[in-house]
Amino acid sequence: MDGEADFMRRALELAEFGRGRVMPNPPVGCVLVRDGEIVAEGWHDHIGGLHAEQMAIAEAEVRGVPTLGTTAYITLEPCNHFGRTPPCTEALLWAGVSHVVVGAADPNPTVRGGGTETLRSGGVNVEEGLLVDECEEQMHEFMHWCRTRRPHVLLKAAIDAHGRIDGDPALPAERFSSEASLGLVHELRADSMAILVGINTVIRDNPSLTVRGPDIGPRDSPLRVVIDPNCRVPGDSELLVDGAAPTLLVHCTDPGAIDDAPHVERMVLTDDDGELPVSRILDMLGDRGIQSLLVEGGADTWRRFLAEEAVDRAHLCRSPSTLSGDSDLKFDEDELSDAGLRCVSTIDVDGDEVSHWKR
């Protein structure tokens, strides 16, 4: 490798191995370098496992590679507190690492500045800000939550060739996206701490909202959130009976005494004339530590989030198929752009046009 930026880019590559498996922690990568060569690598692989710095040091030990005097390139400021593992600052000092290059500072109030200050106090030369934009982008949900105490919101929508989102209401809901596009949806779910739908989607589609395919390791399944102001959720809905993931029903009226399954929780939030403000929902989820929220539908829910400028990014799948019937339920790209989002990429996924949007 030619220089410091290349070492940090390798650390960014390594961090991706932990994507979807380390929440609520962010993905982090680390390389140890001596004389311009990488001698050990590490990443945070799963929640409760070694952090990136600790894995790199452990790899060096196993291979008999001395760490004294090495330089560590780390995508995020090392932690300086006891959590599921001891502080990474202690591991770096114990290993005799003499120089640490950090990509992004940790904005978490429990860590802010403590990692670099501790290392400097221990005689380590510390540099900060190498490829900071790339490092923050990789962990943007974590950064967003630390700075706003609200989850980062990703809107996911699928439409047919004419912008329709549903077929004949007298028939069962149709699945019209390609299998490859559905696979992308499960990747989005795996990368989310919560998945939200409105009550109309539950009644119409009876979804399970689970992650199928991607390996999320030992972390909890994403929380399933249903916005159900007037307690209309059917008792036999998959979300209530399958026990597959924790489920939160948000009401604005008291549902009374209901014998729900252990995985189901109900919460009553104050309303504005029978509607639950998106801001109040986001504050509640942020207080619960939810950093990333996938809003899957339906159209009324999308529009409420867009109207409150609460959508940070969007994933829109336009299928070449045409849904049956003459339903006028539609959604299209103009609604995203009108809400202040811009299209940053478009890809073909087995015939589906998938566009990605950012604020």
The catalytic residues are 53
How many alpha carbons fall within 13 Å on the CB side of residue 22? 23
CA distance 284 to 281: 5
CA proximity to 38, closest of 60, 61, 68, 13:
60
Surface-to-core class of residue 359, CB atoms within 10 Å of its CB (0-12 exposed, 13-18 middle, 19+ buried): middle
Cα–Cα distance measured from residue 237 to residue 210, given in angstroms and rounded to the nearest whole number = 14
The C-alpha atoms of residue 48 and residue 22 are separated, in whole angstroms, by 8
Q: Which of 52, 54, 73, 71 is nearest to 131 (CA)?
A: 73
Q: Are 112 and 101 in contact (CB under 8 A)?
A: no
Angle at Cα 196 formed by Cα 191 and Cα 202, nearest 5°?
130
Distance of CA 315 to the CA centre of its chain: 13
Phi first, then psi, for residue 172 (nearest 5°) are -60, 150
DSSP 137: H
Tokens found for residue 76: 């995020």
CA 346 to chain centre: 21
Q: Are 343 and 355 in contact (CB under 8 A)?
A: yes
